[in-house]
Amino acid sequence: MEHQEILERSCQVLLVYTTLPSDYETEFLSHWQLSRRKDMIIGVPKEIKDKEFRVGIVPAGVQTLAAAGHGILIECGAGLGSGISDQEYEAAGARLVHDAASLYSGAELIVKVKEPLVEEYAYMREGLILFTYLHLAPLPELTGVLLDKKVTAIAYETVSRDNEFLPLLAPMSEVAGRMSIQAGAHYLEKEAGGRGILLGGVTGVEPGHVVILGSGTVGTNAAQMAVGLGASVTVIGRNPARLAALEKTFAGKIRTRLSSRENIAAEVSRADLIIGAVVVPGGVTPTLTTRDMLPLMKKGAVLVDVSIDQGGCIETARPTTHSDPVYEVAGILHYCVANMPGAVPRTSTFALTNATLTFVLDIASKGLHGALQGDLALQRGVNTYNGFLINRKVAQAQGRDCENIDRFIR
């Protein structure tokens, strides 16, 4: 048997090892150890979405992954928007890469913040693991690219515990909920195009009225900020138990109403600021505020649709950017920025990576199959797998066939 053939037949290592001459021994052992490596190369690119200053990992996370034996590639400048220098990443154990193409081609696992944009489609390839926010339901083109390129894409927003808690969506939902009130308060100012309302009012003048559509993490944090400013607040939701819990939490400082077309129409007619805070993990959000409700509203009122990255819960909503955040329909100002937390990147990056690091470490250390086999929450995060669509809600939204992840990891 030729020595090269022996090298290629590692499955027979115990049978042939003793027959190898010494000058092949080092090469063989190196080949054998490589085949048994459990480390992974993790790439963190610079985000290219408009005004997206977050980054997929912080230096402390790099240290943790490097200590576990993994390699970390960071695109130059990826952390600058979050106040993290290239030198900090290098000191933590990362290797800097000067362009996105090299980073994607050199990494097995890509950890980022936002979904790939058209400019990044060329970097998708078979065998790549993509771990990021995806919100695929309203994005059939991106879904098609991930399927065609056989990328395994795990969405932060669909990783969920048995109690339906969304551990990787929650931190950004907190940020977006709080920011929605800040943004709404700003655009209610006359110079910004609003009614000229101070949400908290002053002595002898009633406060502004805030209506929040949704009683989850986004809605709760929006209510917290609005109550803190002194606004009048109504939360509309479909879960009576959740609404009762919010009333108790806020000790009578908010009103609640069950979600129905009649109740929503009645409340938006009184509102100065409406917050769309509905979340359907992996799916398209339902439309709660329709176009025919706009004439009922006060001219100069503001709509902030936090749900816009899943299609939006306001019929007249369409995605906007931090560079061009608002537009007007029927005298109502619409703020529909799809990556709101990107405006406060330092807070958002550290909050996000606090939540994602454990999952990244599991995938890198156990391998994709090992991590998935031991974690139902992570299994729920898989949206596409090697050319197959896994997430049922995305499949329903796009009229595609769907497979169960169990088929591939048993």
| Each residue's pLDDT expressed in tens, for the chain with a length of 410 residues | 444 443 343 333 333 333 334 443 333 333 323 333 469 999 999 999 999 999 999 999 999 999 999 999 999 999 999 999 999 999 999 999 999 999 999 999 999 999 999 999 999 999 999 999 999 999 999 999 999 999 999 999 999 999 889 999 999 999 999 999 999 999 999 999 999 999 999 999 999 999 999 999 999 999 999 999 999 999 999 999 999 999 999 999 999 999 999 999 999 999 999 999 998 888 999 999 999 999 999 999 999 999 999 999 999 999 999 999 999 999 999 999 999 999 999 999 999 999 999 999 999 999 999 999 989 999 999 999 999 999 999 999 999 999 999 999 87
Q: How many Cβ atoms are within 10 Å of 106's Cβ, its own excluded? A: 13
Catalytic hit among 209, 305, 309, 334: 309
Q: Count the alpha carbons within 13 Å of 43 in the hemisphere toward its beta carbon.
A: 23
**CA angle, 290 as apex, 284 and 293 as ends, to 5°?**
160
The secondary element (H helix, E strand) that includes residue 348 is helix 345-373
CATH code of 41-166+345-409, in short, is: 3.40.50.720
Closest CA to 90 of 54, 62, 65, 111: 62
pTM: 0.86
For position 203, what pLDDT does the model report?
Answer: 97
**Rama region for 137: left / alpha / beta (φ>0; ψ in -120 to 50; rest):** alpha
Are the beta carbons of 364 and 109 closer than 8 angstroms?
Answer: yes
Domain 170-343: CATH architecture, name and number where available: 3-Layer(aba) Sandwich (3.40)
CA of residue 177 relative to chain centroid, distance: 14
**322 a catalytic residue:** no
Residue whose structure tokens are 């050319």: 387
For position 1, what pLDDT does the model report?
Answer: 42
Residue whose structure tokens are 């608002």: 326
Residue whose structure tokens are 């993990």: 281
For position 38, what pLDDT does the model report?
Answer: 61
**362 a catalytic residue:** no
Here the tokens at position 372 are: 């998935």
The secondary element (H helix, E strand) that includes residue 256 is strand 255-258
Residues of the chain with CATH 3.40.50.720: 41-166+345-409, 170-343
Give 218's DSSP letter: H
**Rama region for 273: left / alpha / beta (φ>0; ψ in -120 to 50; rest):** beta
Closest CA to 159 of 379, 386, 397: 379
Are the beta carbons of 139 and 115 closer than 8 angstroms?
Answer: yes
Catalytic hit among 70, 135, 209, 334: 135
